[in-house]
């Protein structure tokens, strides 16, 4: 058996902690946590509260040196720099989205990292989703016939969501935040992965003021041959987060609802398989699948993790939507 992959963490916010907790439940012969780097006050104490034996390094370079692969979960402005630092030391990386908010810089970085053969993926968990597996099985079984169109509907009680308020400073800023980058990007990735390359046709975007992130978007685009219509808005549901991704064909409709429910329209009633579970229960299982693929990627084994190229394509669409007029 190969040695365990040493996984380090750059950024220990919500996503870093979720993935670290999932990593601690992995087979320690396959993947092992090497430690974290996060300059924010309290990160070290939170880490010790999870496992007193874990190391909080005092620099990004130190955790990179101690690791085989890095989970990059710092704010978006820093992602490209940390990816480059990992590549310079021949480390693999799983990066959070977006790669950056600067499309030109991201495009150059993706091309450079590809030329250098970097082992890298982007953390779009739909690549490991059980619900997406079910959608693909329905598609392969022809239950809706040849797909004709996609609809994406996103709604939020407020932004950021209640569990993200510790990061409100940047998550509700125009420079790096907003639900289009944080949430819509996942559903654009899903459209890209299941239907084909993305191309934006038109969009609108409404901001409450110059400093805060968007409050409503619409977009018309294509994913491969399929037309895609996306809407998103804040203050239009009582739920923290309500979303649907719906695929229509001549024989019916299937959809993904609230991150983890694959549903099929049967005689006008949306019906999920009996083993479907809500996102809070599905998430750790999906992250475990992601981590198994991270270990494979680090060892040079091909996986279906989202690629830098796919993430860049999503980023281009997202940033174009955010530049659209109201």
Q: 7-65, pLDDT tens digit by residue?
A: 999 999 999 999 999 999 999 999 999 999 999 988 999 999 999 999 999 999 999 99
Q: Give the tokens for residue 6.
A: 């040493």
* CB-based contact 94:305 (threshold 8 Å): yes
* CB-based contact 7:27 (threshold 8 Å): no
The label of the residue with tokens 């609809």 reads: 151
Question: Measuring CA to CA, how many Å separate 320 from each of 143, 180, 239?
Answer: 34, 11, 27
Q: Give the tokens for residue 260.
A: 């983890």
Per residue in 59-82, pLDDT (tens digit) is 999 999 999 999 999 999 999 999
pLDDT of the residue at 166 = 84
Question: Measuring CA to CA, how many Å separate 219 from each of 60, 194, 202, 241?
Answer: 38, 19, 6, 19
The label of the residue with tokens 């990816």 reads: 83
Q: What is the CA radius of gyration of the chain?
A: 19
Number of H helices, E strands in the chain: 11, 13
Question: Measuring CA to CA, how many Å separate 19 from each of 113, 214, 293, 307?
Answer: 24, 28, 13, 18
pLDDT exceeds cutoff 90 at 210: no
Q: What angle do CA 148, 189, 137 make, to 5 degrees?
A: 55
Q: H or E segment at 216? A: strand 216-223
Q: What ranges make up the beta strands (E) of 92-166?
A: 92-95, 120-122, 149-156
Per residue in 155-186, pLDDT (tens digit) is 999 999 999 998 899 999 999 999 999 999 99
Mutual angle of helices 185-195 and 130-140, in 10-degree steps: 30
pLDDT exceeds cutoff 70 at 1: no
Q: Average of pLDDT values for 228-250? A: 97
Which domains are present in the chain? 5-123 (3.40.50.720), 127-283+313-322 (3.30.360.10)
Residues 6+ apart with CB under 8 A from 323: 205
pLDDT of the residue at 2 = 86
pLDDT of the residue at 60 = 98
Write down how long the chain is.
326
Helix (H, G, I), strand (E, B) or coil at 52: coil
CA max distance for the chain: 59
- β-sheet with 226-234: strand ranges across: 198-206, 216-223, 226-234, 149-156, 242-249, 252-257, 261-266, 269-271
pLDDT of the residue at 238 = 96
Q: Average of pLDDT values for 142-163? A: 97
C-alpha 230/C-alpha 290 separation (Å) is 27
pLDDT exceeds cutoff 90 at 231: yes
Q: 138: closest CA among 227, 255, 222?
A: 255
pLDDT exceeds cutoff 70 at 311: yes
pLDDT of the residue at 41 = 86
C-alpha 141/C-alpha 254 separation (Å) is 12
Provide, rounded to the nearest whole percent, the portion of the chain with pLDDT above 70.
100
pLDDT, mean over the chain:
97
Q: Average of pLDDT values for 275-304? A: 97
Q: For residue 302, how many other CB atoms are within 10 A of its CB?
A: 8
Q: 318: closest CA among 30, 21, 138, 76?
A: 76
């Amino acid at each position: 058996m190969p040695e365990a992959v040493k996984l380090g963490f750059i950024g220990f916010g919500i996503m870093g902690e979720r993935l670290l907790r999932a990593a601690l439940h992995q087979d320690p012969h396959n993947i092992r946590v090497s430690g974290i780097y996060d300059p924010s006050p309290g990160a070290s104490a939170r880490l010790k509260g999870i496992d007193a034996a874990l190391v909080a390094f005092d620099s990004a370079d130190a955790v990179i040196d101690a690791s085989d692969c890095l989970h990059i979960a710092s704010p978006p402005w820093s992602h490209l720099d940390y990816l480059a630092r990992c590549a310079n030391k021949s480390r693999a990386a799983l990066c959070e989205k977006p790669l950056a908010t600067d499309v030109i810089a991201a495009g150059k970085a993706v091309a450079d990292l590809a030329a250098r053969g970097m082992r890298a993926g982007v953390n779009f968990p739909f690549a490991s989703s059980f619900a997406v597996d079910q959608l693909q099985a329905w598609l392969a079984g022809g239950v809706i016939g040849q797909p004709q169109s996609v609809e994406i509907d996103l709604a939020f009680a407020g932004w950021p969501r209640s569990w993200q308020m510790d990061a409100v400073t940047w998550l509700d800023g125009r420079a790096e935040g907003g639900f289009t980058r944080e949430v819509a990007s996942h559903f654009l990735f899903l459209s890209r992965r299941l239907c084909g390359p993305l191309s934006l046709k038109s969009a609108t975007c409404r901001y409450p003021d110059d400093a805060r992130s968007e409050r409503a978007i619409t977009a018309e685009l294509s994913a491969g041959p399929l037309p895609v219509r996306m809407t998103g808005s804040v203050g239009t549901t009582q739920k923290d987060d309500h979303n649907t991704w719906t695929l229509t064909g001549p024989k019916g409709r299937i959809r993904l609802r609230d991150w983890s429910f694959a549903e099929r329209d049967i005689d006008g009633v949306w019906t999920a398989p009996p083993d479907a579970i809500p996102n809070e229960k599905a998430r750790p299982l999906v992250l475990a699948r992601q981590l198994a693929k991270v270990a494979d990627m680090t060892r040079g084994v091909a996986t279906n993790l989202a690629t830098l190229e796919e993430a860049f394509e999503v980023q281009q669409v997202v940033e174009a939507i955010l530049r659209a007029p109201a």
